[in-house]
Amino acid sequence: MDKKISENGDYALMRSMKSDIMEDEERKLENGEIETGHENSGPMSYILTETFRRQPHRKVGSFSRKLVAICASTGGPKAVAKIVPKLPENLGAPIVMVQHMPKGFTSSYAKRLDETSAISVKEAEDGEMLEDGHLYIAKGGAHLRVFQRRSSYYISITDEPARSGLKPCADIMYESLEKLDFDEIICVVLTGMGSDGTRGIGKLSEKKNVYVIAQDEATSTVYGMPGMVKSAGLTDEIVPLESIADAIIKATGTKIV
């Protein structure tokens, strides 16, 4: 059955979260009481010490193979809840996402988003095939990689050690995309502490055709991750939170029907 988005879908999602542990988790995140996904070290995954030799972005046709790869940390759950319900069911790309979140929380988080979104949202599972119009959220306490078999793309969930204290780690997700044959990879960097995603996107941009959208400082809870990717000279667009969904729709070449 097709899902419909109500005009107050974002509000309905956040109100539903108030009835469970997600609200408490978000409060702890913003108050600095916990570091979701961070183990034994700070949340910095990369300090800018090198210049990336990024390939110039190339425009591709509407029927090209595209992937959207999102990363977020502190403030991310609320930011994503304002973006995903605005995406159309016919979005012309699959989405993979790393949100720094502890083990046991990503499944309920994905279900809440799925209830108010036209696209399908779920916690990523090992071995499942990517489909357009689907969002796969990295499992808390595990890493997400993407691999290719012939002309299809699949998710790999791994239990390798945390990187720079992060598990899941966006850099690991982005580096797994280097060997895939997508015509364009749309990287979206949202609010978050630290710099996770910058090195992964930087290295990816040296080998693949990437388009990078970053959340602006004014609407970020913490301007760490989007600020760092901007400082590295990797951004194509810097937009406020309310414009990110439109930027993704445009970048994927999706026509609203």
Which of the residues 10, 45, 73, 176 is marked catalytic? 73
Which of the residues 38, 196, 216, 220 is marked catalytic? 196
User: Is there a catalytic annotation at residue 196?
Assistant: yes
Can you tell me which residue has the tokens 């599972």? Answer: 125
User: Is there a catalytic annotation at residue 100?
Assistant: yes
Confidence of residue 27 (pLDDT cuts 50, 70, 90): low
Between 160 and 37, the higher pLDDT residue = 160
Which of the residues 10, 38, 45, 100 is marked catalytic? 100
**From the candidate CATH numbers 3.40.50.180, 2.30.130.10, 3.30.300.30, 3.40.630.40, the one assigned to the domain spanning 58-252:** 3.40.50.180
Between 191 and 37, the higher pLDDT residue = 191
109: which 2 tokens?
């988080």
pLDDT in tens, 154-191: 999 999 999 989 999 999 999 999 999 999 999 999 99
User: Is there a catalytic annotation at residue 143?
Assistant: no
Q: The pTM is what?
A: 0.85
Rounded CA gap, 108 and 21, in Å? Answer: 9
